[in-house]
Amino acid sequence: METIIELKEVEKYYRMGEELVKAVDGISIKIEQGDFVAIMGPSGSGKSTTMNLVGSLDLATHGDIFLDGKDIEHLDESQLAQIRGKKIGFIFQSFNLIPNLTAKENVSLPMLFQGTEKEYRNEQAEKLLEMVDLADRMDHYPAQLSGGEQQRVAIARALSNDPEVILADEPTGNLDTKTGEIVMNFLDNLNKSGKTIIMVTHSPEVAQKHSKTIYQVKDGKIERVMKKIKGKWKIV
């Protein structure tokens, strides 16, 4: 299978006063097309920093990050923003919707940054909101939507540029169990349609139920890699 994202011996250090914090300490990850990957670990394990590196939202202190075969360390910010905008759709735990834009306007915004024509933006935003069962809510503002509805708007927005990869940061973290299952079912269906899903979660139950590959992170390192093979989890 084609490798879409690869981290090779990546380290990310932060300086806090006199102390050097190793948030990520020599991680190697390979994301293959069509996989459903969970990056799992407790708070402070380095999984959020790992997510930022996997999503090309941050650069490594040491090591190499390849996105679509290109080493992002050698791209300037505008080049990186363009390739990231086309390749990866982001879903955040806190939804990150713009409060003074309607659901439809929130979904169409990433297409604006890619220079897409207005008529197509509107048509695509409506189509995506219909797909997540929000056709009757597209003119509502985020404050008028429930948490589950806001997360579905965020899923529609993540799909607006038809990216190959969806990166979801704790997508059920702010939702009740039933609504969380609805959101995860959307991600499962996207994966079945060919999208590569990368999900950050602290929940072993969510990871094991929905993903195909699990990277367990602890103290900034990969502690264990597991793959679901013929319905059973195996350490690889």
pTM of the model: 0.90
- For tokens 């090309």, the residue is 56
- Give the pLDDT confidence score for residue 36 in this predicted structure: 97
| Token digits of residue 129 | 């909101």
Where do the domains of the chain lie, and which CATH numbers do they carry? 3-96+164-235 (3.40.50.300)
- Give the pLDDT confidence score for residue 32 in this predicted structure: 95
- Give the pLDDT confidence score for residue 85 in this predicted structure: 83
Angle, CA of 21, 24 and 29, to the nearest 5°: 175
pLDDT along the chain (236 residues), means of 10: 93 90 94 96 89 90 91 86 87 91 96 90 96 95 95 93 93 88 92 96 92 95 94 93
- Give the pLDDT confidence score for residue 33 in this predicted structure: 95
125 with 107: CB under 8 angstroms? yes
* C-alpha dihedral sign at 58, 59, 64, 66: positive
- For tokens 């394990």, the residue is 45
- Give the pLDDT confidence score for residue 150 in this predicted structure: 95
- Give the pLDDT confidence score for residue 73 in this predicted structure: 83
The beta-strand segments (E) located in the chain are: 3-16, 19-32, 36-40, 62-67, 70-71, 88-91, 165-169, 196-201, 213-218, 221-229, 232-235
- Give the pLDDT confidence score for residue 108 in this predicted structure: 96
Rounded Cα–Cα distance for residues 28 and 6 (Å)? 7
- Give the pLDDT confidence score for residue 184 in this predicted structure: 93
